[in-house]
Structure 1
Amino acid sequence: MNSIGSRNSEYLPAAILLLLAAIGFVGPSANAESCIREQAGQSVVCTANDVRITFADNVRDIFGAPLLECVRGESFSFIADFHIRTTATARYDIGLYFGTDGDPNGDGASSGVCSAQIIKDRHVDPAYPHAVVLGSAVAANLDGDACRDINSAQGWRNIAGKIVTLRIDNALCHDSDADEKLNLPNCATWSNGAAAACNSPNNTAPSSSSNCSCDLSFNLPILVAPGSNQVTENDHQISTAAPRIRPVLLSESITAPQGDAD
């Protein structure tokens, strides 16, 4: 048996994983959950604005390096500081939903493909390469479960809100408003008071159909760069192949058209 070839075959999977991670794709999202409608089991209207994501900054890749752009039509993973604000004294079991499919349904993160998140205390990213600290330094735990809550006493009612650092996997690089910046439609959900125990995004359905807010045109400071040789429809890649041209055979004659005689 070729021992060198055997060792190379052992290293190959790790090398492939490292390559995929370097370009921001590491397989299925570790935090991919249903969107709000699936969680609630019914349609939602999201007319309240008690909790919302005001803006995001400090965008970096999964290794923690600054991330300035993505390639239009491709999916990628990133980490950012999301600023969350409430207009209420306290809201419980906050759910943060991000539409990672470019929102073809036009409803934010109510339906489609979403990255569903809860607010957690500060912790090291559990997904490869475990390089960034996620979560919030000032989240409240008003009801004793795993889903953190927010309140005015800890500053969540300030205009700028408070920071929650999140990792978003497999987001479509998409610019829906032609400003060359990434659009990441999102929705926030909450309960008005302590309810059933919340331990994951699966438990963050809004306590009523109106207890959610959505932002369909949310921007992040990531430049959406054009890809090379791409044909896209609504920023979804539909073809990258060059047209095939059939060669002219020697047996085929090419005769110039004859003009009318004078």
Structure 2
Amino acid sequence: FGTLTLAAPAFAQTCLVETYGKNVQCTANDVRIAAVTSTHNLDGTPIATCNIGDRISFVATAQLVVGSTSSRSNIGMYFAKDNQPGDGGKAGGGALTGSCFRDIIPPGHPSLNAFCTGPGTPFSFCTGNQAGTSTQTLGSSNYTELDNLNLAPTPDNCGDGNAGTTQTIDVLVQDVLCEPISLTNPKLRLPNCVSWQVPGSTTLCQSPSPTYPFQSTAVPGSPSKCNCGVLEVPIIVQRAAIDVSKVANPTTQSGTDGGPVNYTVVVTNKSNLGAVTVNQLCDDKYGNIATATTSPAQPACAAGSLCASPNNVAGSTCATSISCSLPATLANPNDTVTCTFTGQIPENSTITDTVTANAVDQQASPLSKTATATASAGDAPSTATLTKTFVGTTAGCATVRYQAKVHNSSGGDETLTLSAVGDNAFGSITSLHGDSHTNNSVVGTTCGVATGTPGSGTLSGSTGGGAFNQTLAVGGSDYSCQFDGVICSSPLTTITLPNGATCTGIQHSNALTATLAGDDGTGETVSQSGGSLTVFECFDATSQ
């Protein structure tokens, strides 16, 4: 059933403090409305729902409890019309101040038809003066009058309560705002206060029939004689709403140059009023995640603060791997749509970004909700990778060990005297000269070194071939020595080996020379043959 509303706005009434005319402390707590057990429209039909933000009027069936050991009189009730924050306790608010609807407990069970002044006035069920079709009545299941102020013809008639009793009362609540207890509790929130007096110390409270309106004499007997709270009324507040959650994975990037971070956004229909349609997802750091094509068009998402040119303009994005299909109609409560995207976060930073989901309800009224997620990245380590590869051998040197021999090949008994040996390429081979990277250098020798004496340079571990002069007899021993000669080439060339193969290397030709004299003392020339040599040195280079 729908909500029956007033034909015209109800007259705004004051709440407890303004009605009483002074501040209250509400510490006695002797009387309270313990619960509202059912609700009805003013025409008597049940009321189960209201639309958020509407103003509604209804009759509440409530449990009124007198918890004190003494009876209480002239009970007044105050219901906040504008859903004022707070509960009237120490923090104030609620039905203490602001705009309220006020009630007393009337005698008997007056019908809501008594409020009618003519057809349709002030309620749609009215058919005439004090006549209508409402089946709803007001009053108490156990009306109590304790004040002996029966002053004819109008005695005290504001209802009271005996000690330790509970009354079931039907009380009028008029023109209050339809708002829920919370987003998770959809029941109607109704701040209220109750006031009372002590029998024997009461003020005469007389309310005129047939409607028995609230009387200003039904106020607290003292500043402490009141009790305030918030009623949870069994009227479900219908509202369109969405909820949004956002999760970052990973939440911490360690030892890397920032992101990427994968984000998951879930939009949920939290409405109890029907379907909602999600049209847009905007992120304050990454810009436009998804925007549906609608008429009129959705406003462009603001540029993401982490986006660089050309993506740092409204409607653009620097997110990647976006998966988000909009519009998405969520037909039923708790239906969801999931969107995912990847965003890069800077090195050595903590980023909390906010996503905003924009949607509409079935009446095209806008809905919006935000959610945040936080991710961080440490300082990336400073590293370098060195790479070295082999291209080829372009120049090279080799140290070659040569054996030098001089043999007396004369006929008869001709004796030769050897006074020196040398080489046409290396020059002197009896002394060290040059170095290991200079062509035609000699870096070690036993030539010209006395027998039993260590050689020079790289041949210091060998013994000398013999000092000069050396006598060479026909058929006698040869003169033999070694030297280490350095051969170099830059660039290396392709050489052909004696077996016909080729390689990259050095081909070096040289010839041994000797200074010889015959034994006839006439200075004859000693004919020399042989002593030539070609060395082929190949460079076989590999890398690893």
Q: TM-score, normalised by structure 1?
A: 0.71
- Aligned equivalents of 2:310, 2:71: Cα separation in 1: 85
The verdict on how the C-alpha distance between 1:49 and 1:204 changes in structure 2, with shifts beyond 3 A counting, is same
Q: In the TM superposition, what are the counterparts of 1:87-236 in structure 2 within 5 Å?
A: 87-88=67-68, 89-104=70-85, 107-121=93-107, 122-125=109-112, 126-127=114-115, 128=123, 129=125, 130=132, 131=134, 132-143=136-147, 144=149, 145-152=156-163, 157-158=164-165, 161-178=166-183, 179-194=185-200, 195-199=202-206, 200-215=214-229, 217-226=230-239
The verdict on how the C-alpha distance between 1:63 and 1:192 changes in structure 2, with shifts beyond 3 A counting, is same
- Aligned equivalents of 2:51, 2:196: Cα separation in 1: 34
Where does structure 1 differ by over 3 angstroms across 4 or more consecutive aligned residues?
none
Which is helix-richer, 1 or 2?
1
> How many residues are matched?
206
Preserved contact between residue 36 and residue 231 of structure 2 (Cα < 8 Å): no
- Aligned equivalents of 1:102, 1:150: Cα separation in 2: 28
The CA deviation at 1:227 is: 5.5
The CA deviation at 1:22 is: 6.3
Question: In the alignment, which of 38, 41, 56 is matched to residue 58 of structure 1?
Answer: 38
- Aligned equivalents of 2:38, 2:106: Cα separation in 1: 19
Q: CA RMSD in A?
A: 2.5
Taking only the aligned residue pairs, the percentage that are identical comes to: 30
The CA deviation at 1:245 is: 6.1
The CA deviation at 1:192 is: 1.5
The verdict on how the C-alpha distance between 1:44 and 1:82 changes in structure 2, with shifts beyond 3 A counting, is same
For 1:50-104, what per-residue CA distance to the aligned partner results, in whole angstroms no more than 9, with x for missing partners? 0000001221111111111110111111111011000123101000111111114
- Aligned equivalents of 1:59, 1:22: Cα separation in 2: 11
Query: Which structure has the bigger radius of gyration?
Result: 2
Give the secondary structure class of the aligned counterpart of 1:183.
strand
The CA deviation at 1:220 is: 0.5
Gaps of 5+ in 2: 87-91, 116-122, 126-131, 150-155, 207-213, 242-294, 298-308, 312-544
The verdict on how the C-alpha distance between 1:23 and 1:46 changes in structure 2, with shifts beyond 3 A counting, is same
Gaps of 5+ in 1: 1-20, 229-243, 247-256
Answer 1 or 2: higher relative contact order, Cα 8 Å, separation at least 6: 1
Preserved contact between residue 49 and residue 213 of structure 1 (Cα < 8 Å): yes
The CA deviation at 1:43 is: 1.2
Give the secondary structure class of the aligned counterpart of 1:202.
coil
The equivalent residue for 2:371 is none
Farther-moved stretch of structure 1 (190-199 vs 217-226): 190-199
The CA deviation at 1:33 is: 2.9
The equivalent residue for 1:29 is 10
Give the secondary structure class of the aligned counterpart of 2:34.
strand
Farther-moved stretch of structure 1 (84-93 vs 191-200): 191-200
Q: TM-score, normalised by structure 2?
A: 0.36
